[in-house]
Amino acid sequence: KMGVSPIGAKVHVAIAAWPWGAYLGPEALDKGIRVKTASYARHHINVTMARAKMSGTYPNSVLATLEATQHGYDEGLLLDVDGFVAEGAGENVFIVKDGRIFEPELTSALTGITRSSVIELATELGYEVRAKRLTRDDVYIADEAFFTGTAAEVTPIRELDGRQIGAGKAGPITKAIQKAFFDVVTCKDKKRRPWLTPVKAKGK
């Protein structure tokens, strides 16, 4: 029957695996990307189950990405309804300032799996990771900035709203975290093999 109640509805689960290139372009992981602050806000925490990764929360991410790319940028950055940095259109965001790593407080932002992995890796590398309310100004004057996500992996941000961030390229801390992350996903970090679920290629 048609309606908004899920009671009695069957649950269907599908898992797909396919070859995946660089989500934000082949040069993004090395040179970094250009990002635009979106005019669309991230959902307020009470609008929906904002911590859930579900398709129903993605329309404003789609709009943010379209807005960014139509203005010549690679990706959008969403603020929360109070004007503080929330997350990328499909990624968590971090900045580096004076050797320390900062992320937005997790209000309406997604608690990403890649985010959690990166925090663990960064901490093991000896970096302090702190959550705080971040403004666009904090990102503008950061020494480094980067996105994390299942698709984005660890992607440096070289520019926000036409303003160069740091040296305008992937910084040393971003590079160190990026290397540690790819050591995990390419099976070079044997200690973290349990993080991975191997998928056999078709015909192999």
Task: Note the pLDDT of residue 46.
Answer: 84
Q: What is the pLDDT of residue 130?
A: 97
**C-alpha to C-alpha distance for 182 and 151, rounded to whole angstroms:** 13
Give the model's pLDDT for residue 50. 75
Between CA 104 and CA 84 the distance in angstroms is: 8
**pTM (2 decimals)?**
0.93
pLDDT value, residue 70? 98
CA 57/CA 43 separation, integer angstroms: 8
Ranges of residues in the chain with a pLDDT under 70 are 1, 204
Q: Tokens 């379209």 appear where?
A: 66
For 186, list phi and psi in degrees, rounded to 5.
-105, 15
Domains of the chain: 28-185 (3.20.10.10)
Tokens read off for 88? 């990328």
Picking from 156, 150, 152, the residue whose alpha carbon sits closest to that of residue 177 is 156
pLDDT in tens, 144-167: 999 999 999 999 999 999 999 999
How far apart CA 152 and CA 73 sit, in angstroms, is 15
**What tokens appear for 151 in the block?**
């698709």
Token pair for residue 126? 């000896």
Task: Determine the residue type at 45.
Answer: I
- What pLDDT score does 52 carry? 78
What pLDDT is stored for residue 204 in this prediction? 64
Active site residues: 53
